[in-house]
Structure 1
């Protein structure tokens, strides 16, 4: 005789076992291992932490480098060099006539605040009011040049001479000025010419220059 009272009890046990197996399967991974929940990291979280910026008072201030000291210029003496055109004042001195000659001192005066020198012959040229040269360049008379040192305010002179046109019969012109160029310079100084006609061509029309000497005339 079959025991029918235990059948419902077995059915209940079988249903419980099936339900438990389903719960275990739902918690397992694909390979049957348990899967632990993963922590969630915000996408905006910066895992690299920078040290705080130093305040202006905490920042290191570089120490300025001082230039190497140079010898003091006090007491240094500037080497004496030739006088430049811009440092000089030019003038034509009073005529010194003699033996049919007309002689004039060309005077250069040091108008600067430094000492400078002149050496040799000046350049000279008579010009008209338009600046055109009258006659050929003067010739240099024989002489022995020497260096003339000019302190501020000192002068040196060179002689300019020619034969009197009334005696020589040379063709003449009346200049408006005389261009005087210091030795070894290119820029001249224009000096007004007030001594009348000068020879520009023909016999005995040569104008001559002498070397510089100290002073303002013979």
Structure 2
């Protein structure tokens, strides 16, 4: 009887031990699971943060593209206001089609003085002067001119100055064979060639490209004197007007 009681006591102690060990294991598993979850959460947060940062860095180029688009739009707006320096002219929707009838560089004659004569007074530094070039149709067909020409001044020292455009609106000029009723007008600010207060630009050659042409003619500058050098100015006092009468 005593032996049986001892065996029961030992069995009960063993059961209690097993229960205690099982609880401890469960507690360890629970603790381990929380730690793993915490580690996983931290890792996930790190991945999300990294992904967000990459997304942000990817967004930056899109922002840059938008800025570039705005810059391009601004450049287009400026060209419409006549700030370009080349001979390419945007064609308004309302303008007549002149592509096939356009006067080409080699079909024109170029004469200083314009259709109405006159010359700039290069000794007058108080008023804006006008240098005009008459354009004559030397071909055997009727042709048209519309827009701004390209005008590049070349100084005696070899410097080049591409003239900006005025804000005037171009009109279509029609030249029949032999006619010279169209002209290019250059507005300029003359200064004494030996001035010490400002930088003079002493013209030697003038390169003329008719509207929407890609080739030019070279004319000698016949008036002497000097022009106030504003080649780097946004709104210079020396500029070119659209082809007109």
1:177 aligns with 2:201: no
Residue equivalent to 2:102: 82
Query: Match for 1:139 among 151, 164, 188?
Result: 164
Distance 1:85 1:117 in 2: 12
1:158 aligns with 2:184: yes
- Kept in 1: contact 2:153–2:163 (CA 8 A): no
Q: Please state which structure has a larger fraction of its residues in helix.
A: 2
SS of residue matched to 1:86? helix
SS of residue matched to 2:139? coil
- The runs of 5 or more residues in structure 2 that have no matched partner are 1-98
Shift of 1:128: 4.2
Distance 1:205 1:188 in 2: 23
> CA 1:171 to 1:125, structure 2 compared with 1: closer, same or farther past 3 Å?
same
- Kept in 2: contact 1:168–1:205 (CA 8 A): no
- Kept in 1: contact 2:230–2:238 (CA 8 A): no
> CA 1:95 to 1:211, structure 2 compared with 1: closer, same or farther past 3 Å?
same
1:100 aligns with 2:127: yes
- Kept in 2: contact 1:125–1:133 (CA 8 A): no
1:198 aligns with 2:227: yes
Distance 2:196 2:184 in 1: 23
> CA 1:145 to 1:205, structure 2 compared with 1: closer, same or farther past 3 Å?
closer
> CA 1:146 to 1:168, structure 2 compared with 1: closer, same or farther past 3 Å?
farther
> CA 1:105 to 1:120, structure 2 compared with 1: closer, same or farther past 3 Å?
same
When normalised by structure 1's length, the TM-score is 0.53
- Kept in 1: contact 2:128–2:187 (CA 8 A): yes
Distance 2:100 2:230 in 1: 41
Distance 1:191 1:176 in 2: 9
1:213 aligns with 2:238: no
Q: Please state which structure has a larger fraction of its residues in strand.
A: 1
> CA 1:206 to 1:111, structure 2 compared with 1: closer, same or farther past 3 Å?
same
CA RMSD, Structure 1 to Structure 2 (Å): 2.9
Distance 2:185 2:140 in 1: 26
- The runs of 5 or more residues in structure 1 that have no matched partner are 1-78
When normalised by structure 2's length, the TM-score is 0.48
> CA 1:126 to 1:158, structure 2 compared with 1: closer, same or farther past 3 Å?
same
